[in-house]
Each structure stands twice: as C-alpha cells, then as structure tokens.
Structure 1
Amino acid sequence: MHKENVYILGIESSCDDTAAAVLHNGKVLSNIIANQSIHEAYGGVVPELASRAHQQNIVPVVDQALKTAGISKNQLSAVAFTKGPGLMGSLLVGSSFAKSLAFGLDIPLIEVNHMQAHILAHFIDKEGYEKPEFPFLAMTISGGHTQIVRVDDAFDMTVIGETIDDAVGEAFDKSGKLLGLGYPAGPEIDKRAKLGDPKAYKFTKPKVKGLNFSFSGLKTAILYFIRDQSKNNPEFIAQNLNAICASIQYTIVGILMDKLKLAVQETGIKSIAIGGGVSANSGIRTALKNTEQKYGWKTYIPAFEFTTDNAAMIGIVGYLKYLKNDFAPQNTMATARLKL
C-alpha cells in the first residue's frame, strides 16, 4: 500500500542523545542530534542527568528538525518515538513528548523498538547506499548491545546470538578507561589502533558456545595485563599505547567476525548488515569488506550518521509502520527492557 506525501517525525531519546528527524516517504529531510557532554566528567552516562538534559533539549531539537526540513508541524502525518530498550528516565521524556504532540495534532502515534531501528536504518533512501534484500543477517553493535539477528522481513526478526554480559562498546570504553583515554573511548582506540601493531599483544578470546558473545572476561584479562606490565615498567602504557589499542581492537574484531562466520555457516545467509555506534569502527568495516572477497559475502554498512543513536532510524521504522497502519494507543508506555 503506497501513501503519497508521508511526513514522519522521529524522536529518539533512549540514552544520552536527544534526537529528532523528519522523513518524507523514506527520505531524510533533517536529522538533528543534541549530544550531552555532561557525562564525560563521569566516564559514563548518568541516568538522572541524562533525563534532565533531554527535558531541556527536546523542544529545541524538534523545532530545529522541522525548520531544517522546511515543513510545519501541521504537515506531519505521524509521530514515531523510541519505546525501548534504554534508560527509563530518558525514554519517558521522548515518549511523553511524542504522545502529547500526536494527541495535540490529532495524528497517529507510532512506537519503535530501538534495536529494530538500528537494523532498518539500512532502508533509509540515501544515494550511494544499497538496501539489503531479505533474508539477511544483522549485527548490531553499540555501547549497550551486541546482537546477531536473522532478518526475514522488516517486521520478522529473530535474535540468534547476543552478549551474555557486557556489550562490545562497553569493552572498548572500559579498556580505554584503563589506558587513561577519555569517554567514550571507542573512537580514540580506533584512531590509535591504525598506528600500532595489532599482533603486539595476545589476549585470549572467550569461549562461549553457539552464537552468543561475552566480553567481561576479556575486560578482566586486559585489566590484569595492564596492571602487571605497569608494575614492571611504570611507563608501559605511555610507551606502547598505539600497540595496546591495536591489539585490543584486533581481538574484539576477531571475536565479532568469528561469530558472524559461524552464523553464516548455520543459516546459509551470506548477506550481512551492520548497525549501531560501534559499526563506525574502521577495524570492523575493514574486516567485513575483506570477507566479501574471501567468502563471497555481501555486506551492507550504513552511512555514518545513521550508525550511532539518531532519530532518522526511528523515522524510517515509523514510515514502514505507517504504510501498514500499525499505530500505538495513547496509553502506550516506555519500556526499559524491550525485546526485539
């Protein structure tokens, strides 16, 4: 069913970014994000501070999204928002605003699963980016999530592997903290990894059955390694920082790729789409590109601006649900632990 001239406002507030986007028939007209720098001093997201910052940011961010898109709120067809998973206080700000706006404008309200949005970000109309064909495997890797999902349709997804403890982004951030790098440490490790020898130091990969992941053991191994080396040489980190970063990144990328290869073997699906903030990592992107030649996989990597938490991905799910008349009631509730 095709509907002409559909304008969707997407609102994303699951963690520490307040984001709003306007999509017109699957094309992004605006994608505005207000980052919260307040958390850097704490080395991680403080939920109470995050929800307060969302309250300050949400009206200006939505206003900016509409202005940049060049439309008025009266032209909107529906409002889509992140229902979960995420931080409860943060989710409540976005969901309350979305509900009020949809109610005031008398237009449909659409609830979106944040994890599904990371995967469906691949279906945003953007020049130079191909959309994956069903079925495909999606690997969602971020600060809070590590999942392999079998995608048979936009609304038929099965989680076939996930982390049993920490997410991959957390492994990067905690390792960075041990090395004295700022928060978030992922991009900094990535930058330094390009300058170091990835095989300088060997870390044992965790043994986890099937397609599930575990990163807590690796974090502990890195902690002990740095502690022991620094005992012998107090300058160890400063003298070898690039090599340590390269070795950590090499190990983490290896863990992710091993599981992906196993998932391809088990499902026979050779189309791979990645998403989530950690998919911006150059080591992962390079490893995936190499598998195309080596194993004949087809890999899909979204545009940078659609990998981290953003509202355009919420908007595209909103658009696809709008076409199916899949609307939420006004009494819908944000859910911190929402399953895919």
Structure 2
Amino acid sequence: MRVLGIETSCDETGVAVYDTTAGGSAGLRAHAVYSQIALHAEYGGVVPELASRDHVRKLLSLVRQTLAEAGLTTADLDGVAYTAGPGLVGALLVGAGTARALAWALDVPAIGVHHMEGHLLAPLIEDDPPEPPFVALLVSGGHTQLVAVDAIGRYRMLGETLDDAAGEAFDKTAKLMGLPYPGGPQLAALAEQGTPGAYRFARPMTDRPGLDFSFSGLKTQVLLAWQQSDQSPQTRADIARGFEDAVVDTLAIKCERALDAAGSDTPACNTLVVAGGVGANKRLRARLQAMCVQRGGRACFPRPALCTDNGAMIAFAGALRLQAGQHDDAQVKVVARWDMAALPPVAAGMVEQE
C-alpha cells in the first residue's frame, strides 16, 4: 500500500509517501517539508491566518514534488492520510480538504491522523524499530507528555504539562533574552557556549511524586536571573546552559519514573521512545540514551528531520491504520483538541520498515 501523508497542523507544510509493500521500494519513498519560519519571524510567533494561507499556496506543489521524487503519480496511490488534529483549525482544514478531494478523485480510502500519534510513531520508521510495550516522551510544540504504549493505538497518559510545555519554555525563554525567532533552537545552540554550573535553576516538580510537568516557574527564574545579570554575551550563554540543563534533568527524571511506573504493570519496560521538536536536542538525547542503557534498555529517536512536524510521520501512522482496514467517511472534519487515548487500537501487524 502506497500512502500519501499530508501535515498542515501549524507552520510546516509536510508531504511524504510511505510504501508498505515488501521489497526494495518499501518504506519512506520521499518526503518534503516547507517551513514558514521566515513568514512568521516578523511577528515573533505563528499567525494562524497567515499560516493557513501559506499552506494553500505551497501544498499542491509540494505534493507534486514529493510524488516526483518517489517516482510515482497520483494513480499509484492506494490511500491518503492527513493530520486531522490537534492543531490550528484553519491550517488543518487546508490539508484535510486537499486530502479528502484527492482521495475522492482517486477512489482510494483516506484517514485523519492524530498529530501526536504521528510524532509518537516517527521513531518506528527508522531501522530496528522498538516494539510495544514502551514508554513515549512526546515533546512537541505545546505538548509535553509521557505515554504508556501498550500496543499501537492503545495509549495510557502517564503525565503531561500543567502549563508551559518544554518547547514553549525554550521559545519563551529565548525571546525574553532577545534571541531571534524561532528561539528554541537558538537557545540550544547558545547553551553549547555556556559554562556548566554557572547558573543552576530548579528542576520543577521533581521534589514530589508524580509524572506531570510544569515549566512556567523555570521560565520566571530565568527571567529574574537575566534581569539581574550584566547581560553580556557570555552571561547569556551561561544562563542558556543553566536553563537547558534544568529542562534536560527534569525530563530525564520524569522519564525514569515513568519507566518504573510502566514496569510495575509490564515487567522490564526499559524502552523509551522520544519524539517531537525538543527530541532533536543533543544533550537530551545523550542523557536519555545513557539513562536507558544503564537500566539495560534503550532510547529510540527519529532522525532530526523527523522530529519537527513532517508528512512522513503522518504517512506512516496513516498506513498502519489504513492497512488495518480503518478509514474515514468523506466528511472534511478536523479538531483543535483531541484525546489520543480515545483512538481505536490498530489490530494489524507492523508494516514493513524502511
């Protein structure tokens, strides 16, 4: 089954083709992402109406480009998958409308994919994918979640953020220190030049039981430290390093607790899947990998290009569900909020890997 995936939940237009057929052509055939960073940089954040309009301008040309790179035409497609939520409703409608129209014209099934399930499954596109049960850390945009994955489509929420997510905290902290948009990657790069231990901030909510997160207080701590400092380039780098260390430590502590909690129900659950934009952070990857190895397990990440929003994760997640016989009716329907625990399980086995 050759599935076209379309992602338009926010400010990236992503398109990909995933092929579940056996043989040398199986796996991720092609994928492309167009980022709207330059468009939104002037405003210091995403402007929903501008995001929607830019998806309209770019989506069809990106579909043609991706099909050409895959060596396919629309007639070769067996299904279409698209992000149906959560996300910006206007942006979601662009992808959903295009996907539904294409599926109707080709008389192939289509399915709306949960954006966060797409992120969760992205590491499974890579070689030697993990098999459930495992614990997933999702750190994407406004989401920071710990999820117990009993099977594909069977998810139990273990913990989530109570206010700012990790990615939001990175972006907002960078902005208050005067770094350009998008601030998160800029702050992480600056932290490489910082002195470890020059600034030490709290590890929020690690001094009490539980798996929920809160990063708004950490952001305030950094603001006060920045305002009271000399604001020199080296001080800015030192504060960035202190902030990044606090986030990485907090995520690692909670992940280890989540593995312990999941292991109480499923013995020897020492596999951690990490996905989402913050999952590309080098220091976080190294810390979580070391923690899992020490436990006799492993941490699994998607390649950095598949950490941010992309069509590959939507094509893959859609392929799993379409291959299991699931599909949606012809209604164009998207949702801004969507509980991932409400998704139906995927009964079919895994598709062939890349």
1:59-74 equivalences under 5 Å are 59-74=60-75
Is 1:136 the counterpart of 2:134? The answer is yes
Q: Which residue of 2 aligns with 1:86?
A: 87
Query: Helix, strand or coil for the counterpart of 1:329?
Result: coil
Contact 2:86 2:335 in 1 (8 A): yes
Using the TM superposition, give the Cα deviation of residue 332 of structure 1 relative to its aligned residue in structure 2, in angstroms.
Answer: 4.5
Query: Helix, strand or coil for the counterpart of 1:248?
Result: helix
Is 1:272 the counterpart of 2:272? The answer is yes
Q: Which residue of 2 aligns with 1:191?
A: 189
Counterpart pick for 2:3 among 4, 8, 17: 8
TM-score normalised to structure 1 length = 0.93
Q: Which residue of 2 aligns with 1:121?
A: 122
Contact 2:146 2:158 in 1 (8 A): yes
Contact 2:222 2:239 in 1 (8 A): no
Give the letter for the 2:15 counterpart: A
Compared CA separation, residues 70 and 266, structure 1 to 2 (3 A):
same
| Counterpart-to-counterpart distance in 1, 2:314 and 2:217 | 34
Give the letter for the 2:76 counterpart: Q
Q: Which residue of 1 aligns with 2:223?
A: 223
Using the TM superposition, give the Cα deviation of residue 228 of structure 1 relative to its aligned residue in structure 2, in angstroms.
Answer: 2.1
Using the TM superposition, give the Cα deviation of residue 209 of structure 1 relative to its aligned residue in structure 2, in angstroms.
Answer: 4.8
Give the letter for the 1:41 counterpart: E
Contact 1:200 1:243 in 2 (8 A): yes
Contact 1:22 1:312 in 2 (8 A): yes
| Counterpart-to-counterpart distance in 2, 1:135 and 1:118 | 17
1:17-96 equivalences under 5 Å are 17-25=12-20, 27-36=27-36, 37-96=38-97
| Counterpart-to-counterpart distance in 2, 1:42 and 1:30 | 32
Is 1:180 the counterpart of 2:171? The answer is no
Counterpart pick for 2:246 among 244, 251, 263: 251
- Number of equivalenced pairs: 327
Query: Helix, strand or coil for the counterpart of 1:133?
Result: coil
Using the TM superposition, give the Cα deviation of residue 263 of structure 1 relative to its aligned residue in structure 2, in angstroms.
Answer: 0.8
Q: Which residue of 2 aligns with 1:154?
A: 152
| Counterpart-to-counterpart distance in 2, 1:251 and 1:123 | 28
1:283-302 equivalences under 5 Å are 283-302=283-302
| Counterpart-to-counterpart distance in 2, 1:206 and 1:278 | 17
Q: Which residue of 1 aligns with 2:335?
A: 335
TM-score normalised to structure 2 length = 0.89
| Counterpart-to-counterpart distance in 2, 1:221 and 1:191 | 20
| Counterpart-to-counterpart distance in 1, 2:128 and 2:196 | 31
| Counterpart-to-counterpart distance in 1, 2:2 and 2:136 | 27
Q: Deviations over 1:197-249 (max 9, x none)?
A: 231112122236511101111111111221122xxx3xx24231221111110
Q: Which residue of 2 aligns with 1:3?
A: none
| Counterpart-to-counterpart distance in 2, 1:78 and 1:293 | 39
Query: Helix, strand or coil for the counterpart of 2:330?
Result: coil
Point out where structure 2 has 5 or more consecutive residues left out of the alignment. Answer: 21-25, 264-268, 341-354
| Counterpart-to-counterpart distance in 2, 1:330 and 1:95 | 10
| Counterpart-to-counterpart distance in 1, 2:41 and 2:140 | 17
Q: Which ranges of 4 or more aligned residues in structure 1 deviate by more than 3 Å?
A: none
Contact 1:11 1:315 in 2 (8 A): yes
Q: CA RMSD in A?
A: 1.3
Contact 2:163 2:214 in 1 (8 A): yes
Q: Which residue of 2 aligns with 1:99?
A: 100
Contact 1:198 1:249 in 2 (8 A): no
Query: Helix, strand or coil for the counterpart of 2:5?
Result: strand
| Counterpart-to-counterpart distance in 2, 1:134 and 1:57 | 36
Q: Which segment is superposed worse, 182-191 or 200-209?
A: 200-209
Point out where structure 1 has 5 or more consecutive residues left out of the alignment. Answer: 1-5
Contact 1:80 1:318 in 2 (8 A): yes
Give the letter for the 1:313 counterpart: M
Using the TM superposition, give the Cα deviation of residue 46 of structure 1 relative to its aligned residue in structure 2, in angstroms.
Answer: 0.8
| Counterpart-to-counterpart distance in 2, 1:73 and 1:239 | 53
Using the TM superposition, give the Cα deviation of residue 333 of structure 1 relative to its aligned residue in structure 2, in angstroms.
Answer: 0.8
Q: Deviations over 1:14-57 (max 9, x none)?
A: 01001110111161111111111211111111111100111101
Using the TM superposition, give the Cα deviation of residue 338 of structure 1 relative to its aligned residue in structure 2, in angstroms.
Answer: 1.2
Contact 1:179 1:237 in 2 (8 A): no
